[in-house]
Amino acid sequence: MTEIRTLAKPEIYLIGNSISGGNQNTGEIFSGIVDHSKSGTTSITSPTQLNKEDILTFQESVRIIITGQLTPKPVYARRSGVFSSIEFEGRQRENTIAVNQYAETFYTLNGKDPVRNSNYLYNYTDRDDVETSSNPSDGTSSSTINTLGFVLKNVNSGSNLITLKARTFFQGGRSAVAVAYFKIYNSPIYTTTIDNADNNS
């Protein structure tokens, strides 16, 4: 019988303009790790008291950064659909040293647990790629965190509740699943037309 190791699960980091939920004030920028899984902690609410009607709701979009906690891992810098030279390794094969040498993280946006499939591979930059700089002359600092990961604007899941799951696979083992529930509010665009042609008298 093959033993399956439990590995450190990835971190889901969300950044966006919050309009409700998670003890956030409307218009506040939320930036933090979210994990609603039973084995996780969350900056929003405890997983056992999760109220899906009062979770974070983002205005228009949310930036998603998923960071694997195991090394070595590939350095992906996907931009405009272009992959780096290191791509999906595929399933582990027996007696093959060159395969499954990287800890790879996979995610889903449909509520299913991630599996090792190239369609679910997280191949974007993560929080290990963040760069910070400071300016001693005025005491300010800056970060590249708003350029990492990817931006989600909507998802066709049949529900306004989005379930994001992430899991890391490495050398025949797999992590627990990190889970984040959230919503994205897209305001409808109305065109107002004023017809005053009959109001000349």
Residues 53-75: tens digit of each pLDDT: 568 889 888 999 999 999 888 77
Least Cα distance to 112 among 183, 177, 51 occurs for 177
Q: Identify the pLDDT of residue 144.
A: 85
Q: Identify the pLDDT of residue 191.
A: 47
Residues in the chain: 201
Q: Identify the pLDDT of residue 26.
A: 59
Rounded Cα distance, 154 and 121, in Å? 19
Q: Identify the pLDDT of residue 92.
A: 44
Rounded Cα distance, 179 and 64, in Å? 12
Q: Identify the pLDDT of residue 176.
A: 93
Write out residues in the chain with pLDDT < 50, as ranges. 1, 40-49, 79-98, 191-193, 195-201
57: region left, alpha or beta (phi > 0 left; psi from -120 to 50 alpha):
beta
Q: Identify the pLDDT of residue 72.
A: 87
Q: Identify the pLDDT of residue 65.
A: 95
Q: Is the dihedral of CA 30, 32, 33, 35 positive or negative?
A: negative
**What would you report as the CA-atom Rg of the chain, rounded to the nearest whole angstrom?**
21
Least Cα distance to 67 among 171, 190, 178 occurs for 178
109 close to 119: Cβ distance less than 8 angstroms:
no
Instruction: Return the structure tokens found at 136.
Output: 């001693």
Instruction: Return the structure tokens found at 20.
Output: 């409700």
Q: pTM of the full predicted structure? A: 0.74
